[in-house]
Amino acid sequence: MGLPKISFNILNGGLNYSTGVVQKIPALIATGVTVAEKVTIGQSYQIFSLKDAEALGITEAENPFAYKHIKAFYGVAGSGVELWLMLISDATTLTQVTDKTQEYASKLIADAKGKVRVLGLVKKSTGAEEFENGLDADVTTAVINLQALADECAEKYMPFRSIVSGNAFSGTVADLKDYKETGFNRVHLLISNNDGSKEASIGLELGRLASIPAQRSVARVKDGAIETLKAYFTNGQPVETLANAMEAIHAKGYTFLRSFAGRSGYYFSDDQTLTKETDDFKTLANGFVMDEAVLIGYDTLIEELSDEVPLTETGNIHPALIKSWQNNIEENITALMINEGKLSGVKCEIDANQNIVSTGVMNVIIKLLPVGYAKEIEVQIGFTTTLE
């Protein structure tokens, strides 16, 4: 028998799609330069405000690209919000950054002691990109690496989701890879910005994610417009130029900025991840909720690890212990998640007939009932001769 431990097998498919307080700590990796005696590329930093970034030499003059994204982050999230940060050189690719064998993203996650729940990545466009799938080719391999890194971290109870800049969109929708045929459910790809550059507004979206609870979508209209004036794709063209193609872009798994008739400003189109429609974790929100529930369950059950398990005369697990474990899990998740509106319900099940004497393994099932989302509203409206 191996080292005593707790293993969580996350069940995918339970939603039956037809086709301790856990904080959502953000982190950002962005292109920048070393500033003597202040900030060094490849090193991890913890900041709480734009002033903290400026004190590190991340200013509009010294590090304009990273400064833009950090300023956008705190413009939405507000001062006082914790942000983990790493600058990378303009010669460093996102493929390198996300490679779990190299000390970039993996180092930042480790230096933050596994607290990071959402990681934003944005590389300054060089203007000489090689293209693949309608974007900078670097994006395609970075997505693959990110999923592998995030999966590995989740196994160590350091789960995170990621948002990546889809640099240098070709402008041709047919070129875009159909990510709804893949399984990168820990990765979200943004191909839009508010300044016409070739990079997505990762700082802006990261700020919104840091300011909303786990179950909330960044596309929630009630939270207000994320940008008031203009929105572009990362080909530098206004989003309106592809208004007729937005459904097709969305159907391939990409996120962008959009507007609504009768409403001023621009909103994120969705919080979808790069995976199939049948995946329970096809949205960032569902992923964040599951990550939080797993960590609460882990924190609850770690107290029971290697403890004695009393049995009845028939060799079954004693009902009193089962009830105790069930209550502890359900009460903690209820207090920290259901009462906060992050979940609709929870049920813990433990089979008393498990052969724990021979195996030493206690199997626990935790069923989570999520909140729903009004992503499409269909209305029938017409005249009538009576209201009775």
Question: What's 110-163 look like in SS3?
Answer: HHCCCCEEEEEEECCCCCCCCEECCEEHHHHHHHHHHHHHHHHHHHCCCCCEEE
Which run of H or of E encompasses 355? Answer: none
Q: What is the pLDDT of residue 388?
A: 77
Please state whether beta strands 345-350 and 364-369 pair in parallel, antiparallel, or not at all (unpaired). antiparallel
Q: Which residues of the chain fall short of a pLDDT of 50?
A: 18-19
The phi, psi pair for 46, rounded to 5°, reads -115, 120
Looking at residue 362, its pLDDT comes to 86
Q: How far apart are the first and last CA of the chain?
A: 71
Distance CA 128, CA 347 (A): 53
| Distance separating alpha carbons of residues 388 and 386, to the nearest angstrom | 6
* Tens digits of residue pLDDT in 276-322: 999 999 999 999 999 999 999 999 988 888 778 888 888 888 888 88
Asked if residue 207 lies in contact with residue 75, where contact means CB atoms within 8 angstroms, the answer is yes
CA dihedral sign, ordered 138, 256, 163, 283: negative
Domain range list for the chain: 25-275
Quote the pLDDT of residue 374. Answer: 76
Cα 260 to Cα 61, 254, 379: the distances in Å are 36, 18, 17
Sequence-separated contacts (24+) of 240-249 with Cβ below 8 Å: 242/171, 242/173, 245/173, 248/173, 249/173, 249/176, 249/191
Q: What are the DSSP E strand ranges found in the chain?
A: 25-31, 44-47, 83-88, 116-122, 131-132, 135-136, 161-165, 183-184, 187-190, 192-193, 232-233, 257-258, 267-268, 274-275, 345-350, 364-369
Cα separation, 271 vs 253, whole angstroms: 9
The answer to whether the beta carbons of residues 171 and 139 sit under 8 Å apart is no
Single pTM value for the model? 0.91
DSSP letter string, 208-247: HHHHS-TT--TT-GGG--SBSS--EETTSSBGGGGGGGHH
Tokens of 341: 């509106």
CA 76/CA 205 separation, integer angstroms: 9
Judge contact between 138 and 198, C-beta under 8 A.
no
DSSP code, position 316: P
- What burial class does residue 113 get, using C-beta atoms within 10 Å of its C-beta: 0-12 exposed, 13-18 middle, 19+ buried? exposed
Q: Would you tell me how many other CB atoms lie within 10 Å of the CB of residue 210? A: 22
Q: Convert the pLDDT of each residue in 154-193 to its tens digit.
A: 999 999 999 999 999 999 999 999 999 999 999 999 999 9
pLDDT score recorded for residue 316: 85
- Tell me which residue has tokens 């950002």: 28
134 φ/ψ sector (left φ>0, alpha ψ -120 to 50, else beta): left
